[in-house]
Structure 1
Amino acid sequence: MANRSYLYSLSNRPTSYTDRPETISGVSEWNYDVPFMYRLLMSGDPQLCASLISDGLDDDEADEKVKLYAISSRFEPGFARVKRFIDIVRFLAAQAPVPEPAAPPAAPPAAPKALSLIERIKSRLSSSTASMAPPAIAAPAATTPATGSTQLPKWLDETLAFLEAHRDEHLLLETIELDTMSESEEAPLRACVEQELARCQQAGAALDALPQDTAAAAQLLREAGATKQAAPLDAFFGLRFDDDCDSTRSRATEYPLGLQWSEVLYFGLFNRAEFEAAQRGDAAAA
């Protein structure tokens, strides 16, 4: 099983594992990484909060559980940044060249027509005259400026539609599976989450540092993705703005943009009513 980061929309900031929201929905999950779009969404006042995935590690004693942390943020400020970012990336996609359609196959040559003796003589005379004329200069082939991003505009539209349909008061980013790949004690695990929280803040600061003019912002974004810039624009470094924006498996990019969304996650978290019902069931079974 892959270790993942998990993103949810929900109605509160959890203060404990049992502080369940009235509403909660899955938004996305990502193998072995936290994509840029997660961080940008989480950039609206991110704060440490309790994890809702687990109230301790598997080998903890019941009375000595490691406290696990996640990140909570307000939905609307991060979503506003995402919408502006999508406008800029859409502008970039429209500027890139698009492949021309393939030319239709040439028709097979017609079978040669049988010529009379007079016609063959005339044909030889015509060929001789043509060979004396200067060669014709071919006109330059027409080039069509267009884009290499055939899927990216569709993915951007789907991103906006999905997030609009899953708006709530807050967002929750869970990185516990990633963090426990390297740490197993409470203080280092908390430090991992604090480092991720700082990356979310940096993503928001990077977006805010782009010029208000969309064309100028797109140019700077392209440069920052390709060449590492000074902070806060270094948060963009490594991003691609084409159909390979999430192609981590093929190594086309190592830093995914993160344009894959789903309500169905490996960890489907209980809301308050579901959590309390499960607890009553456990108590009854005991």
Structure 2
Amino acid sequence: MANRSYLYSLSNRPTSYADRPETISGVSEWNYDVPFMYRLLMSGDPQLCASLISDGLDDDESDEKVKLYAIGSRFEPGFARVRRFIEIVRFLATQAPVPSPAAPPVVAAPKATSFIDQLKNWFSPSAASNAPPAAAAPAATTRATGSTQLPGWLDDTLAFLEAHRDTHLLLETVELDTMSESEEAPLRACVEQELARCQQAGAALDALPQDIAVAAQLLREAGATKQAAPLDAFFGLRFDDDCDSTRSRATEYPLGLQWSEVLYFGLFNRAEFEAATRGDAAA
């Protein structure tokens, strides 16, 4: 089984494992990574909160459980950033091919001539004018993004998130964190590092200029070449149909445009949690 990050929309920021929201829905899960779109969504006031996936590790004693953390954030500020980011990426995806600088003409090396031929050239002023003109090098073109499916994925992203709006979001990274850590302090540090990445994603988006054409060009450059902070949060992203192609290694940093209510961990809301707790007590 793959270790994943999990994203949920819910009605509160949980203070404990038992602090269940009135409403909760799955949003997305990702194998072995936290995609950029998760971080951008979580960038609206991210804070440490309790994990709702588990109240401890599998081998914990019942009275000595490791406290596990997740990240909670408000939905609307992050979603506003996602909408603007999608607007900029959509602009990139619909651009016409961008002309590349034309290559300088190739000048052929002069042919060796005899002394008599040189004299003929000196006294034949029309010779140069009769020479065929050098062929101009054709202008090369490169695709702006090479995207055919990306605009549809962007539309699907907005539609899904609109349909699953709630007051808060929850990002769970416990499966990823326990791949390398097993004690409470290091596990908390892993979540704090991810929280900082969420903040950096929001700061990077806010640093793009309001002019959409300028913002799109800067975003393209920041994805391809590492920039100074905060724009370095974009480095490694692709804005084409390979934006999530981690399996083929076309990219190592997924954008994260895959959404689903059905996740491996389907979390109980408050009513379901209380019913399950009563059932366990009765048994």
What CA distance in whole angstroms lies between the structure 1 residues aligned with 2:193 and 2:35?
A: 15
Please tell me whether the aligned partners of residues 5 and 177 of structure 1 are also in contact (alpha carbons under 8 angstroms). Answer: yes
Please tell me whether the aligned partners of residues 102 and 137 of structure 2 are also in contact (alpha carbons under 8 angstroms). Answer: no
* Residue 186 to residue 117, structure 1, CA distance change in 2 (3 Å): closer
* Residue 251 to residue 67, structure 1, CA distance change in 2 (3 Å): same
What CA distance in whole angstroms lies between the structure 2 residues aligned with 1:265 and 1:68?
A: 19
With structure 2 as the length reference, what TM-score do the two structures score? 0.84
Please tell me whether the aligned partners of residues 20 and 271 of structure 1 are also in contact (alpha carbons under 8 angstroms). Answer: yes
Q: SS state of the match for residue 202, structure 2?
A: helix
Q: CA RMSD in A?
A: 7.9
Counterpart residue number, 2:204: 206
Per-residue CA distance 1:204-260 (angstroms, 9 max, x = gap) = 000000000000000000000000000000000000000000000000000000000
2:178 to 169, 180, 183: 180
Please tell me whether the aligned partners of residues 99 and 139 of structure 2 are also in contact (alpha carbons under 8 angstroms). Answer: no
What CA distance in whole angstroms lies between the structure 2 residues aligned with 1:112 and 1:227?
A: 42
Deviates most, 201-210 or 147-156: 147-156
* Residue 38 to residue 127, structure 1, CA distance change in 2 (3 Å): same
What CA distance in whole angstroms lies between the structure 2 residues aligned with 1:190 and 1:117?
A: 86
Alignment of 1:192-231 (within 5 A): 192-231=190-229
Please tell me whether the aligned partners of residues 56 and 68 of structure 2 are also in contact (alpha carbons under 8 angstroms). Answer: yes
Per-residue CA distance 1:175-209 (angstroms, 9 max, x = gap) = 00000000000000000000000000000000000
Counterpart residue number, 1:41: 41
**Residue 282 (structure 2) pairs with residue 285 (structure 1):** yes
* Residue 183 to residue 111, structure 1, CA distance change in 2 (3 Å): closer
Percent sequence identity over aligned pairs: 90
Please tell me whether the aligned partners of residues 149 and 243 of structure 1 are also in contact (alpha carbons under 8 angstroms). Answer: yes
Per-residue CA distance 1:69-114 (angstroms, 9 max, x = gap) = 0000000000000000000000000115499999999xxxx99999
* Residue 240 to residue 124, structure 1, CA distance change in 2 (3 Å): same
Counterpart residue number, 1:8: 8
* Residue 130 to residue 28, structure 1, CA distance change in 2 (3 Å): same
* Residue 57 to residue 126, structure 1, CA distance change in 2 (3 Å): same
* Runs (5+) with no aligned partner, structure 2: none
* Residue 77 to residue 104, structure 1, CA distance change in 2 (3 Å): same
* Runs (5+) with no aligned partner, structure 1: none
Please tell me whether the aligned partners of residues 12 and 170 of structure 1 are also in contact (alpha carbons under 8 angstroms). Answer: yes
Q: CA deviation at 1:148?
A: 1.8
What CA distance in whole angstroms lies between the structure 1 residues aligned with 2:95 and 2:190?
A: 39
With structure 1 as the length reference, what TM-score do the two structures score? 0.83
* Residue 147 to residue 245, structure 1, CA distance change in 2 (3 Å): closer
* Residue 130 to residue 60, structure 1, CA distance change in 2 (3 Å): same
